[in-house]
Structure 1
């Protein structure tokens, strides 16, 4: 039985902790905040409650596997899961409006054909077929196995892009897929919004990012009753049931090293802690920027990757008036000029009217009564503003633009607002130690879209969570916990989860 110290109580870290404790190890989690969950937080006021992180769950099988492997109670006995249908509504700048069903390729093709015109649904369906090929080629090595020492095979893009034009050149980016293969600006915007949700610019994201809409439209979107925070609470309770110890309000200031091996933690208060192994669920960038882990200057820092510059603004709205029965859980109100939106992000500015995701859960547990409604708006923004401007100074104007855009999804929204709470990348930094939001691992792009490997630069040091392989997203964080536990329990013989 090994003594394992875990940095942070985020979802990836807790997933690793529960699995390691179930394998017989003595696991202690050190969290600088007063609660668990990391980015899967909760904001409450006056009987209203909001998820302060992700609002929907994709690939719930990842978390079902965790609960099966760590106890007798399956996930569905711990939280109530429901499929969201329709999965999403999309409002385009020209006024086109389309509802996409949950986990139905045929239904999606029909909906797009009806809303966007003949041939549009067929082109999207053919694209999803190619995206499926990319998924099947990359799923196991990119999601279910640890990153190998030689990552050069991932430099090749698995998406089988069509070869078109005089030069017969295939699409190399997600944006080029939209232009060359989908051939409708609205379909291109729909495609790009799946990359934007993870902070990726479709103009530079590799063609392999086609797996993102494929995963969502194949495996569906799920809601956890009470909000995604209920899932974080369930994982925390599973850790406690497996005898994981949590030490809250305790910041880690360093990883102790001896002969190239991690041997414990240095704490801000309470002295050093000895350990046989260390698992860090903290954002990998913060570990090196804050000198918690020393890194040889010859090594490339593992957070210098596309997507690490973007964060999110969230606007939580407490509304008077009940939620209509025909309200859609998630609506994406697309920006009139996505290129200008990304130019502004690249320049570190809030820019023009953004793409806004409107979440209307319709969950009675999140509102004081049926005469009120909770709505959350989110937009992708620069993690840091140009010239060192504080997000607190820009948040109000950004929120105003988001509310204005969201009226396309919720008519009369501004007149219904009782109060609003605005959360910026600065709040993300306070909650998770890093302002940017990590993107999932993607093949292609010359290997630039790979996160940090789960095995750290020191022996007996491991990385879990969204900044470690296989990258950002709630499902990916759970996979990282499984990979770390496998590496520790099975050692060099571990070849990935089954």
Structure 2
């Protein structure tokens, strides 16, 4: 039995802690904040409840596996998960609306009806090629640990997206997702379906590799899910599992550095000088390695008068004037004071603090951003503005405060292509006995990927450095 200190109480860190405690290690989690969950936050006022981080769950199998491997109760006994169907509604400035069911066959028919004959076939053909990328990269990019430069080089060399043949010649494969969408989907509205989904992962389609199309494929194939009570219910369940396994949590404890002895990790020192000695350190917070670059999100939490109209989609993407606004309206009674009210969360990809022209600390920045999102939603016919009881804006600075990631950057998932520019930090740290988990570690950001980082780090610790993932 080893003494292990886990830095941070985010989802990937808690996943690692539960697995390590199940293997009979003595695990202590030190967290700088006053709660757990990392980016999976919750905000409440007047009986209204909002998720302030991810609003939907992808790859619930990651968390089901955690429950199976760390105890007898299954995840379904702790969290009531429902597949979102229809999967998403898309609305465009020209008045076009596309309601996509969860099943691909139904999606093809819906696209042909809304966008014209052949749109469904083009969409299905692109997702079919994305499936090839998924099958080729799923294991090395998601299920195997990243432990050193040699392996990083192998991942960087993965073919990002297969080139199409034209006659006897093979055409150059598009480098970015935006290029792929424009070239193969042709209709700008159909292309926006692809790029809009990817933006929900914190990725700019103009910069993201073409292989990001696997995210749309995975959503279409494996679905999107919602836990009753909001995403925080998942964080609650993982935290409870950690406690059941004997994990100790220390909140209000900001880790400053990893201690070393005899050339290997030997514990953690807090900002106040307190030391936690350990045989192994698992770092699941910002502050180890180079600060990330990338995009962030601006969110608007709306408390609405009136009940949610029947037939309202859980998720709508509004495409207008170069802006994609995600609108989540779960219709969950646990989120409202009564049946005469509704909640909605609007969000859009924005530059992180210090990485664009907007200073999110400026007096009018939050109000201007809120006005823009609400105007886009109402221009698309959602009719939310007239129902607003009150609203609360969340800027990249709020994300920075919740996660500790400079500028409020939202790390994207690890992706093939563009010379490895979208690979995250290795699961092994600079010192022997130090490991990384969370959105800044392989396999990158997003709830599923962060959860897998915990699986990978725990596997390396429990099984040894030659462990290459579970089959």
TM-score (norm 1): 0.90
Paired with 1:410 and 1:16, the residues of 2 have a C-alpha distance of: 44
1:274 and 2:255 correspond = no
1:69 and 2:72 correspond = no
Paired with 1:145 and 1:172, the residues of 2 have a C-alpha distance of: 25
1:416 aligns with 387
Q: CA deviation at 1:224?
A: 0.2
Q: 1:310 to 1:179 in 2, by over 3 A?
A: same
Q: 1:485 to 1:167 in 2, by over 3 A?
A: closer
The correspondence of residues 83-94 of structure 1 with structure 2, limited to 5 A, is 83-94=83-94
Q: CA deviation at 1:195?
A: 2.3
Describe the superposition over 1:387-423 as per-residue Cα deviations: whole angstroms up to 9, x where unpaired.
7834353111011000111114563311111111111
Match for residue 440 of structure 1 among 413, 418, 422: 413
Q: 1:367 to 1:200 in 2, by over 3 A?
A: same
Match for residue 352 of structure 2 among 355, 364, 383: 383
Q: Given that residues 147 and 427 in structure 2 are in contact (C-alpha distance below 8 angstroms), is that contact kept between their aligned partners in structure 1?
A: no
Q: CA deviation at 1:168?
A: 3.1
Match for residue 232 of structure 2 among 209, 213, 229: 229
2:339 aligns with 370
Describe the superposition over 1:283-308 as per-residue Cα deviations: whole angstroms up to 9, x where unpaired.
3xx334xxxxxxxxxxxx4x55xxx3
Q: Given that residues 15 and 455 in structure 2 are in contact (C-alpha distance below 8 angstroms), is that contact kept between their aligned partners in structure 1?
A: yes
1:154 aligns with 155
Q: Given that residues 163 and 170 in structure 1 are in contact (C-alpha distance below 8 angstroms), is that contact kept between their aligned partners in structure 2?
A: no
Paired with 1:484 and 1:391, the residues of 2 have a C-alpha distance of: 36
1:313 and 2:316 correspond = no
1:330 aligns with 315
The total of aligned residue pairs comes to 463
Question: Which secondary structure state, in structure 2, belongs to the residue aligned with residue 5 of structure 1?
Answer: strand
User: Which sections of structure 2, spanning at least 5 residues, go unmatched?
Assistant: none
Q: CA deviation at 1:459?
A: 1.1
Q: Given that residues 440 and 471 in structure 1 are in contact (C-alpha distance below 8 angstroms), is that contact kept between their aligned partners in structure 2?
A: yes
Q: 1:91 to 1:389 in 2, by over 3 A?
A: same
1:344 aligns with none
Paired with 1:456 and 1:96, the residues of 2 have a C-alpha distance of: 50
Judge which range, 161-170 or 56-65, deviates more.
161-170
1:256 and 2:259 correspond = yes
Q: Given that residues 300 and 391 in structure 2 are in contact (C-alpha distance below 8 angstroms), is that contact kept between their aligned partners in structure 1?
A: yes
Q: CA deviation at 1:259?
A: 3.4
Paired with 1:400 and 1:390, the residues of 2 have a C-alpha distance of: 14
Paired with 1:109 and 1:78, the residues of 2 have a C-alpha distance of: 35
Question: Which secondary structure state, in structure 2, belongs to the residue aligned with residue 391 of structure 1?
Answer: coil
1:355 aligns with 324
Q: 1:388 to 1:80 in 2, by over 3 A?
A: closer
1:467 aligns with 440
Q: 1:233 to 1:409 in 2, by over 3 A?
A: farther
Question: Which secondary structure state, in structure 2, belongs to the residue aligned with residue 205 of structure 1?
Answer: coil
Paired with 1:392 and 1:439, the residues of 2 have a C-alpha distance of: 27
Paired with 1:420 and 1:447, the residues of 2 have a C-alpha distance of: 40
1:199 aligns with 202
Q: Given that residues 255 and 270 in structure 2 are in contact (C-alpha distance below 8 angstroms), is that contact kept between their aligned partners in structure 1?
A: yes
RMSD: 1.6
Q: CA deviation at 1:454?
A: 0.5
Q: CA deviation at 1:163?
A: 4.2
Question: Which secondary structure state, in structure 2, belongs to the residue aligned with residue 287 of structure 1?
Answer: coil
2:172 aligns with 169
1:431 and 2:431 correspond = no
1:117 aligns with 116
Q: Given that residues 254 and 265 in structure 1 are in contact (C-alpha distance below 8 angstroms), is that contact kept between their aligned partners in structure 2?
A: yes
1:298 aligns with none
- Structure 1 runs of 4+ with >6 Å offset: none
1:211 and 2:231 correspond = no
Paired with 1:404 and 1:82, the residues of 2 have a C-alpha distance of: 30
Judge which range, 109-118 or 41-50, deviates more.
109-118
Q: CA deviation at 1:255?
A: 1.2
Describe the superposition over 1:458-494 as per-residue Cα deviations: whole angstroms up to 9, x where unpaired.
1111111111000011011111100000000001231
Paired with 1:164 and 1:441, the residues of 2 have a C-alpha distance of: 30
Paired with 1:471 and 1:287, the residues of 2 have a C-alpha distance of: 15
Q: CA deviation at 1:39?
A: 0.4
Paired with 1:122 and 1:377, the residues of 2 have a C-alpha distance of: 31
Judge which range, 225-234 or 267-276, deviates more.
267-276
Q: CA deviation at 1:253?
A: 1.4
Q: 1:408 to 1:68 in 2, by over 3 A?
A: farther
Question: Which secondary structure state, in structure 2, belongs to the residue aligned with residue 169 of structure 1?
Answer: coil
Q: CA deviation at 1:71?
A: 0.5
2:423 aligns with 450
Q: Given that residues 4 and 276 in structure 1 are in contact (C-alpha distance below 8 angstroms), is that contact kept between their aligned partners in structure 2?
A: yes
1:291 aligns with none
Question: Which secondary structure state, in structure 1, belongs to the residue aligned with residue 288 of structure 2?
Answer: helix
Question: Which secondary structure state, in structure 2, belongs to the residue aligned with residue 375 of structure 1?
Answer: strand
2:373 aligns with 402
Q: 1:196 to 1:489 in 2, by over 3 A?
A: same
1:351 aligns with none
Q: CA deviation at 1:169?
A: 2.3
1:340 aligns with none
Q: 1:222 to 1:167 in 2, by over 3 A?
A: closer
2:455 aligns with 482
Describe the superposition over 1:77-124 as per-residue Cα deviations: whole angstroms up to 9, x where unpaired.
00101111101000122221001112x111111111111101110011
Q: CA deviation at 1:373?
A: 0.4
